[in-house]
Amino acid sequence: MSGGSSEGTPPLVQSLREHAGTGDLVLIVDDVPDNLAVLHDALDESGYAVLVATSGEQALQRAAQARPDIVLLDAMMPGIDGFEVARRLKADAATAHIPIVFMTGLTETEHLVAALEAGGVDYVTKPIKPKEVLARMNVHLQGARRARQAQQQAGQARNALDAFGYASFMVRMPEGRLVWQTALARELLQRYCGSSAPATPPAVLEWLRRHLPDAQQRQIEPPVLAIAQGAASLNLRLHQQAGQDEGGDDWLIIMREVSDAAVIEAMSLSLKLTAREAEVLYWVVKGKTNKDIGEILGASPATAKKHLERVYVKLGVETRTAAAGVAMKRIRELQPQFEL
| 297 within 8 A of 304, measured Cβ to Cβ | yes
The predicted model gives 209-221 an average pLDDT of 81
pLDDT of 7 strictly over 50: no
> How far, CA to CA in Å, does 257 sit from each of 160, 222, 338?
17, 18, 10
Q: What is the 3-state secondary structure (H, E, C) of 179-229?
A: EEECHHHHHHHHHHHCCCCCECCHHHHHHHHHHHHHHHHCCCCCCCEEEEE
- Edge-to-edge strand ranges of the sheet holding 232-245: 177-181, 167-173, 248-258, 232-245, 225-229
Cβ neighbours around 337 below 10 Å, total: 12
Residue 122: partners with Cβ closer than 8 Å, 6 or more residues away = 99, 101, 102, 136, 139, 140
Confidence of residue 4 (pLDDT cuts 50, 70, 90): very low
Mean pLDDT value across the chain: 81
What are the structural domain ranges in the chain?
11-150, 164-258, 260-334
CATH superfamily, region 11-150: Response regulator (3.40.50.2300)
> How far, CA to CA in Å, does 19 sit from each of 40, 50, 63, 279, 292?
16, 11, 19, 48, 61
What's the pLDDT tens digit per position in 149-181?
665 555 555 555 554 456 788 888 888 888 888
| 258 within 8 A of 337, measured Cβ to Cβ | yes
Count the helix, strand and coil residues of the chain and give each as a percent rounded to the nearest 5.
Answer: 50, 20, 30
| 102 within 8 A of 109, measured Cβ to Cβ | no
| 169 within 8 A of 189, measured Cβ to Cβ | yes
pLDDT of the residue at 8: 46
Confidence of residue 322 (pLDDT cuts 50, 70, 90): very high
pLDDT of the residue at 5: 39
More confident residue, 212 or 155: 212
Confidence of residue 6 (pLDDT cuts 50, 70, 90): very low
CA distance 338 to 27: 51
| 128 within 8 A of 101, measured Cβ to Cβ | no
Is the four-CA dihedral 262, 263, 268, 271 of positive or negative sign? positive
Specify the amino acid at residue 114. Answer: A
pLDDT of the residue at 246: 57
Q: Which of 51-55, 122-126, 214-218, 315-319 has the lowest mean pLDDT?
A: 214-218
The model carries a pTM of 0.43
101 CB-side CA count, 13 A: 23
Specify the amino acid at residue 11. Answer: P
Q: Could you tell me where the beta strands, DSSP code E, fall in the chain?
A: 25-29, 49-53, 70-74, 100-104, 122-125, 167-173, 177-181, 225-229, 232-245, 248-258
Buried b (16+ CB within 10 A) or exposed e, 154-166: bbebbeebbeebb
Confidence of residue 248 (pLDDT cuts 50, 70, 90): low
164-258: CATH topology: Beta-Lactamase (3.30.450)
Residue 316: partners with Cβ closer than 8 Å, 6 or more residues away = none
260-334: CATH topology: Arc Repressor Mutant, subunit A (1.10.10)
| 55 within 8 A of 80, measured Cβ to Cβ | yes
pLDDT of 60 strictly over 80: yes
